[in-house]
């Protein structure tokens, strides 16, 4: 008999899209159904990867775009081999706030780094591990600007980037969802929080049958 394996579920979207909130709501819903799952995030997810996250998000630390890419990849290597793969092999569903699609949207569509390079790094160093299902939460640039203005506390490296950059990222996520419709489920998250959550639950139930 083949070994059972958990589902690898990711949430993608720009800042303010609601992906962190929706990933937590899905985790809570699965727990209420007595379905084993783990909630994690990128960059981060392990002690080492969280240290890398601190560097990546700190706007006071200068980083070239290519350095950002390699740090994201280093964080992901630690995360995949220490958390994601062991959990999946243990038949535990993994819910991850950001993964490869974010790297492609921000580093390729946003900063203009070579897409083939990003994909090759992922193939060679991470066995090309991909999610089973990705929720891409979509908002327009105006909604993004309004939500970022409401946030409390200091903004991070990516939140401080200009409207043009964020528009490129939003369009990048849309392109990814369009290019891989079997994996990606695009949801307009400008609507009410419960409406978005209900759409996510309806979709996840198709995978839990």
pLDDT tens digit sequence for 134-168: 999 998 878 877 777 776 665 889 988 888 999 99
Nearest Cα to Cα of residue 177 among 56, 65, 8, 14 = 14
Residues 9-31 have a mean pLDDT of 96
The confidence score (pLDDT) of residue 91 equals 95
Q: What is the DSSP string of 36-93?
A: -EEEEESS-SSHHHHHHHHHHH-TTS---HHHHHHHHHHHHHHHIIIIIHHHHHTT-E
Quote the mean pLDDT of the chain: 94
- Name the 3-class secondary structure at 138: strand
How many domains would you assign to the chain? 1
Flag whether 186 is in a domain.
yes
Global pTM reads: 0.94
CATH code of residue 52: 3.40.50.300
Domain annotation covers residue 196:
yes
- pLDDT > 90? residue 198: yes
pLDDT at 192: 86
Which three-class secondary structure state does DSSP give residue 96?
Answer: strand
Whether 1 is covered by a domain: the verdict is: no
Query: For residue range 177-192, what is the model confidence (pLDDT) as tens digits?
Result: 999 999 999 999 988 8
Q: Would residue 3 count as lying in a domain?
A: no
56 within domain boundaries: yes
Task: Look at residue 58 and tell me if it is in a domain.
Answer: yes
Segments forming the whole domain that contains residue 110? 8-208
In a domain, 2, yes or no: no
Nearest to 91 by CA among 190, 193, 8, 186: 8
């Amino acid at each position: 008999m083949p070994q059972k394996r958990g589902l690898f579920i990711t949430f993608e979207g720009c800042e303010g899209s609601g992906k962190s909130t929706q990933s937590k709501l899905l985790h809570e819903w699965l727990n209420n159904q007595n379905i084993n799952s783990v909630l994690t995030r990128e960059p981060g997810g392990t002690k080492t990867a969280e240290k890398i996250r601190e560097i990546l998000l700190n706007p006071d630390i200068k980083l070239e775009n290519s350095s950002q890419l390699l740090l994201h990849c280093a964080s992901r290597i630690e995360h995949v081999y220490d958390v994601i793969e062991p959990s999946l092999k243990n038949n535990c569903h993994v819910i991850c706030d950001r993964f490869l699609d974010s790297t492609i949207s921000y580093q390729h569509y946003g900063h203009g780094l070579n897409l083939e390079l990003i994909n090759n790094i992922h193939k060679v160093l991470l066995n090309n591990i991909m999610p089973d299902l990705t929720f891409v939460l979509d908002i327009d640039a105006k909604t993004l600007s309004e939500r970022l203005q409401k946030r409390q506390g200091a903004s991070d490296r990516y939140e401080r980037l200009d409207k043009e950059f964020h528009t490129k990222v939003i369009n990048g996520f849309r392109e990814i969802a369009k290019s891989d419709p079997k994996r990606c489920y695009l949801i307009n998250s400008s609507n009410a929080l419960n409406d978005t959550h209900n759409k996510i639950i309806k979709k996840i139930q198709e995978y839990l049958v």
